A and B are shown apart, each in its own frame.
Chain A
């Protein structure tokens, strides 16, 4: 009995997908365990700490460095038939890189994820903006036009989601950590610019100050026209298709994330499939990975979730090739940057968002906040510095 942990929407559809695997491999049963994203990181760490890991799991690729530091993952080179079935060249480069930690392949990309603009094309047109914004300036103009017109708060920007700010920060030339990931680098002009742009959206009233739970059902509200912009990921293609009526489908679209001077970078996210070192069913887990990354299964996966395949070859075939809502993602995926691959990153980025929230709510002036953020980051990286300088890893 293979234990497979999956999160969010992927968790919901995984059961369907593995049914096909079970048919092809009689004698192997797979049990899918669904975890909510907000608790997944904790749960996985707890499982590693308690020696109670499953056999195979979906894993956000920003967590791979952390898991590797814990020696929790089985290197996949010899286990999964990479050469034949999952050639590196077929994958988007940035994504394949995130799966290599310390020179070993510790995960196989399952789907890619990035954040870009979902928008109500009809509301935008009515406000005098027939095209989606391509640069920050255009974006601000569009939001202002909507704000002054029919949509008082055009932007859904939950204060407890760090991805939008992270994407804006990754559009800047400076890295977020310096010194080989030993120290924080948040007091740069680039990050300052990103932060100012982000905070501006709240100050001008384009985004209401609220956390995720306060929005209610996002799709419902988006459909009702209470919002016109949402920075989110590909699974929302599936969400909007399911939750909004057929008549509404023509009225929304996706566009690459605007950058400071034109279409900009976004986060190189996504999930990988990993096998845990303590698993007693490693060969079976490897077969499941190969199955889930097969062309036809990837296409089914896309159809069920809206999640985007990490393999270019799958993109060239329908339905993806002809999906107009996914086109912006194909474009954006060539402009993605990974976040720093340090085990402490999850905590650092939470701290970053907290500081941003504090600034938005007017509790802290910006220069002081950035100093504090750097200091906190340096403190969090102290053990890593000690270990690296000591020569172990």
Chain B
């Protein structure tokens, strides 16, 4: 019993240290974004701003067009989320509960395809979109995110736990498949829907490589691309960069904090069902 106090401090100390390490860079990011230009490039490096100011945020708004980029990121993420959640949920449910020939084979093939790195497809996809005239458009930026094998997998895993009787009962009552899906199945799938939506939103908001390739009009840039571009130009303006980083990171962090119960639940559920 004596060792217990030591263990208590050990465990919680380690956890708090890990949490601090995990969060420290983010806190530093906010701190630097409020510093005066050049303040962070002094030795010894300061921890807190001398005279906190929102100058850099103002600069980003007025000269950097960050409001536009924020809206681009938001718009794209919302559109992709709505479309992909819809498509993935329908497909996931079908793979779980609707019987058709070749269902299992098709699904295993799709799972196997998860190993293919998405970037293999990027070059030809770019050329394909060029042919369709979709390079440098919002539609072109959305394309790879509209449906995903992993999302379908998540939904299928979750949907399999729905008791068959529920669906059979609806069918007996004469409801069509779509009716059944919308009124009976969807409400039950809510937790995984939220997980999928958050997942999808995060994925789109944070996506970097594809928008970098397909968007070349500054007006269409999403936040990560704009930030990367800004960082190449202004590599010396640390404080400005950190302000840009805050604008990019804060929204998703807040979204995550607000919805984490569902997100965690969905992930946990999905993996336990292994």
Does chain A bind chain B? yes
Proximity string of chain B (109-127) to chain A, C-beta cutoff 8 Å, 1 when within and 0 when not: 0000000000000000011
Q: Which residue from chain A places its CB closest to the CB of B214 in the assembled complex?
A: A50
Inter-chain contact total with CB atoms closer than 8 Å = 50
Considering only residues 118-175 of chain B, those with a C-beta below 8 Å from chain A are 126-127, 129-130, 133, 135-136
Stretch at the interface among A35-43, A114-122, A135-143, A292-300: A35-43
A212-B236 Cα distance, complex, nearest whole Å: 10
Whether A218 pairs with B233 at a CB distance below 8 angstroms is no
A39-B234 Cα distance, complex, nearest whole Å: 13
Proximity string of chain B (216-259) to chain A, C-beta cutoff 8 Å, 1 when within and 0 when not: 11110000000001101101100000000000000000000000
A216-B236, A217-B236, A220-B38 known; A52 and B229 CB under 8 Å? no
Is the C-beta of B41 less than 8 angstroms from some C-beta in chain A?
yes
Is the C-beta of B18 less than 8 angstroms from some C-beta in chain A?
no
Is the C-beta of A19 less than 8 angstroms from some C-beta in chain B?
no
Q: Total interface residues on A, using CB and 8 Å?
A: 23
CB neighbours of A220 from chain B (8 A): 38, 41
Q: Total interface residues on B, using CB and 8 Å?
A: 21
A34-B233, A36-B233 known; A46 and B38 CB under 8 Å? no
Is the C-beta of B213 less than 8 angstroms from some C-beta in chain A?
yes
Q: Which residue from chain B places its CB closest to the CB of A31 in the assembled complex?
A: B219
A8-B233, A38-B232, A43-B216 known; A50 and B41 CB under 8 Å? no
Q: Which residue from chain B places its CB closest to the CB of A47 in the assembled complex?
A: B216
Whether B216 pairs with A50 at a CB distance below 8 angstroms is yes
Whether A33 pairs with B218 at a CB distance below 8 angstroms is yes
Whether B135 pairs with A52 at a CB distance below 8 angstroms is yes
A304-B77 Cα distance, complex, nearest whole Å: 39
CB neighbours of B133 from chain A (8 A): 51
A330-B217 Cα distance, complex, nearest whole Å: 36
A282-B214 Cα distance, complex, nearest whole Å: 25
Q: Which residue from chain A places its CB closest to the CB of B221 in the assembled complex?
A: A33
CB distance from B270 to the nearest CB of A (A): 37
Whether B216 pairs with A46 at a CB distance below 8 angstroms is yes
Q: Which residues of B contact A (CB under 8 A)?
A: 38, 41, 126-127, 129-130, 133, 135-136, 213-214, 216-219, 229-230, 232-233, 235-236
Among all A-B residue pairs, the 3 with the closest Cβ atoms: A50-B135, A36-B233, A36-B232
- 27 A-B pairs within 8 Å (CB atoms) are namely A31-B219, A33-B218, A36-B229, A36-B232, A37-B232, A37-B233, A38-B232, A39-B229, A43-B216, A46-B213, A46-B216, A49-B126, A50-B129, A50-B130, A50-B135, A50-B214, A50-B216, A52-B135, A52-B216, A52-B217, A212-B235, A217-B38, A217-B41, A217-B236, A218-B236, A220-B38, A220-B41
